[in-house]
Amino acid sequence: MRRDSRRRQKEEKNYNIFYIGGSILAIGILAFAITFVVYGNKMDKQASLDNQKIASLVQESNNKTSEISTQMGKTVEESRNTVENTTIPNKTNTKNTVTSQTNAPTKQTDNSKTQNTVKQEETITTKKDTKTQPLTFVKPVDGEIMKDYAKDKLVYSETLEEWTTHLGWDIKAEKTTVVKASAPGTVKSIKNDPRYGLSVIIEHEDGYQTLYANLLSTEFVTVGEKVTGGQSIATVGNTAAFEIADGSHLHFEITKNGEAIDPNQLIK
């Protein structure tokens, strides 16, 4: 009897323990479930809020970006219009202007080179023409040739009363007749020679010299002066001692490198 009672008590005790334990376990599970549900809802709400906040931020960012982009586009467009209206009224003209400005120095340089080349060629041509063109002589006074050139034969001199050579022309002319330079050159000397009287010597190119003697005056030129062909240099007189008996005339000679030249060969 006592054994049954003890066993029963023991079973009741074990049942109570099991019941209490099960109740505690059930309460714990229920509490965990409630906590999980509450926390899950909170997390969902938080996630929903976060998603909404993120979506709001994204939308706000997009709006700001669009606004900034619009403003930038507006600013760029306004700037472009301003530039086009103020500095570039015509794109084609601007391109042409830029091209012209770019090419201008080259053209100027090319033109300068061309001009320099032309000048050099003209200078060379002028020098060549000067060298190739023969020196032209003209008769220094108009008049009859009283005594011709006679280097290889003798002619009679009224003044010396003898036969002698004559290395130039004696051209008859009245006193004070103007004497002209036979060719361009430089006045080498003006002197009163014992035989030729008052005389002028002009030095020309290629070793030529001309002598104008038996003069009355030489006031038209000075020593060292450059003269042109046909320029007045003196007047006819009668001052040559060895031709004093021949009356007023111009004694005219041409030499080359110191050798007498027949004027008939150079003056036609």
CA 18 to chain centre: 117
Tokens representing 78?
């306004």
pTM for the predicted model, two decimal places:
0.52
Q: What is the Cα–Cα distance from 143 to 145, expressed in whole angstroms?
A: 7
Question: Cβ(190)–Cβ(222) under 8 Å?
Answer: yes
> Both tokens of residue 262?
């027949």
Looking at residue 45, its pLDDT comes to: 56
The rounded distance, in Å, linking the Cα atoms of 202 and 184 is: 9
Phi, psi (rounded to 5 degrees) for 164: -150, 170
How far apart (Å, rounded) are the C-alpha atoms in residues 148 and 7?
A: 191
Whole-Å CA distances, 211 to 18, 25, 190: 167, 157, 10
Three-class secondary structure of residue 248 per DSSP: coil
For 212-225, the pLDDT digits (tens) are: 999 999 999 999 99
Paired strand residues for 162: 157
Q: What is the pLDDT of residue 34?
A: 73
Are 164 and 202 a contacting pair, CB within 8 Å?
no
How far does Cα 135 stand from its chain's mean position?
A: 39
Q: Which long-range contacts (CB under 8 A, 24 or more apart) does 217-225 make?
A: 218/190, 221/187, 221/190, 222/187, 222/190, 223/187, 223/188, 223/189, 223/190, 224/186, 224/187, 225/186, 225/187
The β-bridge partners of 215 are: 236
* pLDDT < 50 positions in the chain: 47, 58, 65, 68-70, 72-76, 79, 82-83, 86-102, 104-107, 130
Domains identified in the chain and CATH numbers: 145-266 (2.70.70.10)
Residues 6+ apart with CB under 8 A from 205: 135, 185
Using a 10 angstrom Cβ sphere, with 0-12 exposed, 13-18 middle and 19 or more buried, the burial of residue 83 is exposed
The predicted pLDDT at position 130 comes to 47
The letter for the amino acid at 63 is: N
**Which phi-psi region, left, alpha or beta, contains residue 197 (left: φ > 0; alpha: ψ -120 to 50)?**
left
Residue 23 is encoded by which pair of tokens? 């109740």
149: closest CA among 29, 254, 26, 34? 254
For the chain, how long is the longest CA-to-CA vector? Answer: 214
Beta bridge partners of residue 256, listed in sequence order: 208, 259
pLDDT per position as a tens digit, 143-177: 999 999 998 888 888 888 889 999 999 999 999 99
